[in-house]
């Protein structure tokens, strides 16, 4: 997991009131330890929205949900198959 994602997660814990501001560094260290022997590649709504200007935030969230459920683990997720899901969601809107 990228350090910036770890920091975002620790900040989210602070913002939710689950830990105090002074504990964010400790939380980040714990989260980093959990991810030490793992990887995670992330896609976000911004990635989806760069593919199609007419995609709303709600559409982008729907695209990501469909990608998560329907992608082939053997192929993975890439901009080509992400575009296919965008076309599917946008096509259903029209």
In the predicted structure, residue 30 carries a pLDDT above the cut 80:
yes
pLDDT score for 13: 97
pLDDT score for 67: 95
Indicate if 53 and 85 belong to the same structural domain: yes
Contacts for 17 with CB less than 8 Å, ≥ 6 apart = none
Chain segment 32-71, per-residue pLDDT in tens? 999 999 999 899 999 999 998 889 999 999 999 999 999 9
Print burial letters for 22-58: b (CB count within 10 Å at least 16), e (below 16).
Answer: eebeebbeebeeebeeeeeeebebeebbebeeebeee
Percentage of the chain lying above the pLDDT 70 cut: 98
Tell me the residue range of the domain where 62 lies: 45-93
40 domain-assigned:
no
pTM above 0.85, yes or no: no
Indicate if 30 and 50 belong to the same structural domain: no
Q: Are 19 and 27 in contact (CB under 8 A)?
A: yes
């Amino acid at each position: 997991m990228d350090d910036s994602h770890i920091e975002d997660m620790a900040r989210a814990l602070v913002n939710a009131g689950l830990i105090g501001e002074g504990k964010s560094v400790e939380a980040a260290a714990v989260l980093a330890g959990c991810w030490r022997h793992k990887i995670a590649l992330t896609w976000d709504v911004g990635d989806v929205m760069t593919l199609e200007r007419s995609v709303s935030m709600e559409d982008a969230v729907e695209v990501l949900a469909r990608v998560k459920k329907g992608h082939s683990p053997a192929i993975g997720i890439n901009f080509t198959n992400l575009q296919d899901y965008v076309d599917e969601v946008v096509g259903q809107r029209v």
